[in-house]
Structure formats: structure tokens, C-alpha cells
Amino acid sequence: MKAVGIVVEYNPFHNGHLYHLQETKKKTGADCVIAVMSGNFLQRGEPALVSKWARTSMAISAGVDLVIELPYTFAVQSAERFATGAVALLDALYCAELCFGSENGEIEPFLQAVQTIKRQQSRYNQSIQQALKDGMSYPQAVTYACRQLEMKEIDLAQPNNILGFSYVKAIIEQKSAMVPQTIQRIASGYHDEVFSHPWIASATSLRKALNGAIEALEHISPYIPFSTKKALEKYYAVYGTFHRWEPYFPFLKYRIMTSEESDLQSIVGVDEGIEYRLKQAITEAETFEQFLHSVKTKRYTWTRLQRMCVHILTHFKKEQMNGIKSPSYIRLLGMSDNGRLYLQMIKKRLSLPLVTTVSRLQKDVIYQQEKKAVAAYTAIFSETTRIQALKEEYATPPVHFNSCK
């Protein structure tokens, strides 16, 4: 059996994801698709619309064979670390290829870009540092450094390109045997916030349309598979919400106001004295958006600030992160019959423990942070609902294909 790996957030799963999934199978001829997926919080520093279990069931229903959790400590991170964790997991699962979406669908420019940078690594790093020092945001600094290297292969300032680039770079650095592949993205830009296609829309626009409530579900249904719609309905029926930042703001505010500057300074992403700006802005901010606006300067991207706020909310400390270099376990969130078969085949060759229940992870430093992420994610529920959600995290066995029908 040949496996191909993909890296996803499925927030929520939509027709564009389905297209990518089907094209991936076609292009690679793989018999098994393994998706590494972020959990409660996403790469861009936002709570996931619905739980990892609901998103796993969307994935399995749509044809993914195995869903593996990308731990919080790699998921809520800039592209480089995000890719490091995802590639390590897919490699550990013996994927033959890794396939990601890109703007033009050609892998060659990514390979060349990585080589160009590797050849002039120190000059590239210097340019980045200089640009950051001059007050540029990270994406701006990358663009600047690429210009310095006269790199023409690819525009790394595009979020999708930087992710693809990072996967390829991680594959090379980790000396993985995986072959990188790419598929051209369909119809919708990453940040599109309006519907401009009859059946493809970005996850951002879908979340925006939902805005935390069920009412707009019919409105977005042309853009999502029926199984996604069912999973969203089911989640809403039990938990009464689609998650977004604003309901977490009281907890963020409480946390920042009851922390000293030195406490904040120990949190991942709180750098360059921003703790003083946080303390100053928090008292009078009425909403999360207002707060971020008053903290934002040219130097920080919105995404970077959101990630920092998630780390404050989940109390993710620098000293914790510094101790974590790569994933220490493979947490299985869901599988199809096919995925189960594949697992049985490779089980004995696995170099990381395959985990289906988290009870054995209680002392794992990566899972420690996962628990804190779950605690923060469920904080907005009523106590009875919260206890149920926590039980789901601690006791749910992997979603199996049949369980989604």
C-alpha cells in the first residue's frame, strides 16, 4: 500500500478540500491518504470552529484514511515550525509522498527556492534579521530577503507558498524519503472573504458567514459536502456554538490583567517588550478585535498577534517550547477501514508510539500543552457542557468510518 500525506486544518472541511483530496489521490496514485490536522487552535491563532472530533469525522467521511493530530506545540506556530512537526509525523507514518496546494501547481520552483536559500543560508538569515530589526513584519522580511538573494522562483510572501516552501525545506532538512508534490489550488484565494464561485469558497469566508451561529448553515451549504453540514449541525446541537475569538476575550482579559509583565514575558510570542503594550491596551478594550487593533504596529502581523494571544490564553511558556524539538507520539484521531489496514501493515516499524487514548500521555510534555489548549478551548461552555467536552477529549476513541454514518 502506498500512502500520501497532507497537512490540513479543515476549519471547516469544504469543497475545495474535497477537490484537493481527490486530486491528491489521482496525482500520486496512493491507496491511503494520511492527514495531519491541527487540534483545538489553528495555525493562524484562532480557536477551531468545531472540535477536532467533528473535523475528523468530516475528513473521514470525505475520504481521508487516517487523521493524526498535529500537536498544539507545532500547530499554533509560524510556517517553519508548523511544517517541521507535520513533516515529522507524516514521515514517521511512512508516507511515500507529501502533497500540498499551491498557486501554480508546480513543484520545481519550491525545490529550487529551497536550494537557492540553502546555498546562501547565512546571507538569507542576515537579511531577515536586518529587516526585522528595521521594523518589518516577518512576511515583509522574507520578501526582502528573497529579493536580496534575487530569488525569482516563487513569492514567499504568499501564505500558501510559504507553507509549501516550508514543507519542502523540512523534508530536505529531516532527510525524509518523502517526495514533495503540489496541486494547483482551485478558484478561491486564501483570504477571500466573499463568495465568488458557485461551489468553492474559502474556509475564511465560510467561518465569516457562520459567525458563531447556526442560522447561516443553509447559506453555506453549496460550498461544503453534505457530511460536513451534518457534522456542523451535530456539533452545534450539543455545544451550542461555532467557536471564534470573541467569546474567549473575557478569559484573555482576565489572564492578562492578573499576570505581571514578567509572567507575560515568559509566554511564547511575547517578545520585544510587547507585554507593556498588552497591559496598557487591555483595560479599555471592549472586544478582542479592538484589543488587537490597539496593540498592533507595523512590526507585528495580525496573525502573529493572534497566535501570541492564543499562547497567553493557553499559558504556553517559552521554557516548555524550547524543550520540544519534534513530535513524541502519533495521536490517531480517526481512520477508515483502509486506514486501519495501512496501520496494521506499518505498526511494527513505527519509531514513535501510536496513541489512541491519551491516558498514557499524562506525563508527556507535548500532551501537557494539549491539555491546557483543551482547557482553554472549553472555557466558554457552561460547566455541564464543559465536563462533557473534556470527557470527549480524554476518552473518545478514534473516529472510525462507520461511526460517521
Q: Which residues are annotated as a binding site for ATP?
A: 7-20, 101, 160, 185-186
314 counts as binding its own copies under rule CB under 8 A: yes
Whether the bond between 12 and the residue before it is cis, its omega within 30 degrees of 0, is yes
The contact mask relative to its own copies for 271-300 (x = CB under 8 A, - = no) is ------------xxxxx-------------
Q: How far apart are CA 352 and CA 38, in angstroms?
A: 18
Contact code string over 64-103 relative to its own copies, x by CB under 8 A: ----------------------------------------
Interaction of residue 302 with its own copies, rule CB under 8 A: no
Where does this chain touch its own copies (CB under 8 A) — which range of 91-99, 123-131, 232-240, 248-256?
248-256
11 binds its own copies (CB under 8 A): no
Contact 256, 283 (CB under 8 A): no
Question: Which residue number, 221 or 287, has a Cβ lying nearer to its own copies?
Answer: 287
* Nearest distance, CB of residue 306 and its own copies, angstroms: 17
* Binding positions for its own copies, 343-362, rule CB under 8 A: none
**Nearest to its own copies of 205, 314 (CB atom):** 314
* Burial annotation 365-402 (CB, 10 A radius, 16+ → b, else e): ebbbbbbbbbbbbbebbeeeebeebbebbeebebbebe
Pick from 258, 322, 344, 402 the residue near its own copies by CB under 8 A.
Answer: 258
Phi, psi for residue 230 in degrees, rounded to 5? -60, -45
Binds its own copies by CB under 8 A, chosen from 31, 173, 263, 392: 263
For its own copies, which is the closer residue by CB, 112 or 368?
Answer: 368
Residue type, 16: G
Least distance between its own copies and beta carbon 177 (Å): 38
DSSP letter string, 238-288: HH-----SGGGHHHHHHHHHTS-HHHHHTBTT--TTHHHHHHHHHTT--SH
Three-state secondary structure along 32-58?
A: EEEEEEECCECCCCCECCCCHHHHHHH
Among 10, 74, 236, 249, binds its own copies (CB under 8 A): 249
Q: Which is nearer to its own copies, 258 or 344 (CB)?
A: 258
Choose between 29 and 240: whose C-beta lies nearer to its own copies: 240
Taking the complex as a whole, how short is the minimal distance between the CB of residue 257 and its own copies, in angstroms?
3
Residue choice 135, 250, 273, 397 for contact with its own copies (CB under 8 A): 250
Report d(CA 253, CA 114) in Å as an integer.
41
d(CA 69, CA 52): 8
Binding flags for its own copies, 362-391, as an x/- string (CB under 8 A): ------x--xx--xx--x---xx-xx--x-
The DSSP code sequence of 292-357 is HHHH--TTS-HHHHHHHHHHHHHT-BHHHHHT--S---EEEEEE-HHHHHHHHHHGGG-SS-EESS
Q: Looking at beta carbons only, is 272 or 284 nearer to its own copies? A: 284
Q: Minimal distance in Å, beta carbon 281 to its own copies? A: 12
Q: Which of 313, 330, 355, 366 binds its own copies (CB under 8 A)?
A: 313
In the chain, the largest separation of any two C-alpha atoms, in whole Å, equals 58
Task: Identify which of 350, 356, 353, 354 has the alpha carbon closest to the alpha carbon of residue 94.
Answer: 350
Give the one residue of 234, 253, 277, 340 binding its own copies; rule: CB under 8 A.
253
SS3 content of the chain, % helix, strand, coil (to 5): 55, 10, 35
Question: In the bound complex, what is the minimum distance in angstroms from residue 251's beta carbon to its own copies?
Answer: 6
Please check whether residue 161 is in contact with residue 142, taking contact to mean a CB–CB distance below 8 angstroms.
no
- Minimum gap (Å) between residue 3 Cβ and its own copies: 36
As to burial, measured by CB atoms within 10 angstroms (0-12 exposed, 13-18 middle, 19+ buried), residue 95 is buried
If binding is defined by CB under 8 A, does position 251 make contact with its own copies?
yes
Q: How far apart are CA 257 and CA 255, in angstroms?
A: 6
Binding site for its own copies (CB under 8 A): 249-251, 253-255, 257-260, 263, 283-287, 313-315, 368, 371-372, 375-376, 379, 383-384, 386-387, 390
